[in-house]
Amino acid sequence: MKRIIVLALTLFTINGYAVDNIVTGKTITTPKGDVISFSAIGSKPVHIANSNTTKTIAYGEEKPILLNGNNIYYVKDDNDTVNNSRNWQQWIDAHIAAEKKLNNAIKKEKKQLPKGTYYYTMKNMVINAAGELVYYETDGIVRRRYTETTRQHPGKLMIPAKLEQNINEKLKATADKLTYNAMIVGGKATAYYNYYTLNFSVK
């Protein structure tokens, strides 16, 4: 039950980000040829205290908003036809399946890891209309102390370099092949945004 609640909360993180009327920033082409456009980072002037200097700073973060010229869907709270129990269960099942595949991929390596809590975060995930994961960003496997979380931004603890490399290669190879259920919006399959963190502890 705890796992399902956590996964449901993870899925809720995609709520409330509308793509309408957002200025487009950078555009990238993935190795498989998909073209992804991101929202532009904002900027604003800031006056430096006790000086006559004004500096322009960037704010906000880039989010994928277009896949091959088509909108990337973000689940919203306002009377959303895809926000139903059947779809939520499918998404939760897909995340549980992904968790099993990622854990199985590094089963051997996990036995060699030093004590700590580990995270493998996949952000800005883009899933196409066929349910294929076509893009995501990750910092790789991260080790922290038991009492720390990713939200606290604590320092990373060391992982033996070769072991860290092996784990990241296996996780990437597995993540690159993940598939999800297609999202149907208005009777049509569409690309959508997601976010996922694999975490486990070694004691």
Q: What is the pLDDT of residue 33?
A: 95
Whether 9 maps to a domain, the answer reads yes
Q: What pLDDT is stored for residue 135 in this prediction?
A: 96
pLDDT, residue 80, reads 56
Range of the structural domain that residue 189 is part of: 2-16+77-202
**CA nearest to 194, candidates 88, 40, 69, 79:** 88
What is the pLDDT, as a whole number, of residue 66? 94
Domains identified in the chain, total number: 1
Closest CA to 125 of 76, 168, 180, 50: 180
pTM for the model stands at: 0.75
Residue 197 lies in a domain: yes
Residue 46 belongs to a domain: no
